[in-house]
Amino acid sequence: MKTDEIKFCNLLLLVFFISFFSWGLVSCNYSKLPVGEGNIPVHDGMMWYKVSGTGTGIPVVLIHGGPGMNSYYLKPFEELGNDRQVIRYDQFGGGKSTFTEDTALFSLKERVLELETLREALGIKKWNILGHSLGTIIALEYFHAFPEHVASLIFASACLDIPAYAENAVLLLETLPDSLQNAVAAADSTGDYMNPLYQEAMAKFSDLYLVRYPGNLESDSLFSGFNVKMYNYMQGPSEFSVTGTMINLDDTQFLKEINVPTLFTVGEFDTAGPQLVKGFADQVKDSKYYMIRNAAHITMADAKDENVRVVRNFLLSVDSKN
């Protein structure tokens, strides 16, 4: 082969490899969304969301718990923004989204459809989903309905079986002094949840099993815009007194459908119960399980750095496979 022909062939190969490599980079990166807050029309009002971060990995959406709470306590996960864009939003009816007392909208089906409406509005083809507490139910039901849009699932303090969750919460309640246990029983019997002794029981339970380091939470970040009616309608008066529409909810039958990378995290003293969450993880092929020591239900407050690190490493591993 002549020298000129060899040079030409080498040039073609070089162009090919550059083009291929460049395509590979583009295919692994995601178009950036405008950073900042926004609202999208949902039902007869607006649903608030916020986009953070400049990373080009697969974006992650954060689904808060409740029902009726807001997403602010999930803010620590915005530290993932160096790797990917982070989207958090307040479910319709609470937080910064339009408030409503329409019980027809107090359903998991509506929560799932709201999440899909958000994805469509942002123009995201596929995203990672991180759900916390009630958000894990929404995440699982969303995957069941729209699996083609899910790159991975993170179940933080999974509450996928409400009867089992409530039973575990009752076991934790039994670690409180008898006087406080009796106050809870009396309140459930009479409906008087304003009794000072009952309020003391709730505070003690919270300190042990909901958030052990409340000082790490910004002032009323959990309850800003809290929709009490939604919580009572779907959940009931408390974590251990479940009387609402979710009383018999058990979504564990959907776990066998999961075919994407999946991570389960739980606090050592979590109301979700490490033993319950480990049982969920065992039902998902090749899933990862991680227990966060000395943390309660709000693990991102009790052990922020560890929680963010575990999630970051998992999501980076997902990026490497896409």
Which of the residues 52, 71, 97, 133 is marked catalytic? 133
The bridge status of strand 36-42 relative to strand 45-52 is antiparallel
Active site residue 133: yes
**Helix residue ranges, H only, 191-298:** 196-205, 228-234, 274-281
Query: Whole-angstrom Cα distance, residue 245 to residue 236?
Result: 8
From the candidates 238, 297, 302, 319, which is the catalytic residue? 297
Catalytic residue, from 83, 251, 270, 302: name it.
Answer: 270
**Residue 270 annotated as catalytic:** yes
Contacts of residue 142, Cβ cutoff 8 Å, sequence gap at least 6: 112, 115, 116, 129, 150
- In the residue annotation, 144 being an active-site residue is answered as no
> Which are the catalytic amino acids?
133, 270, 297
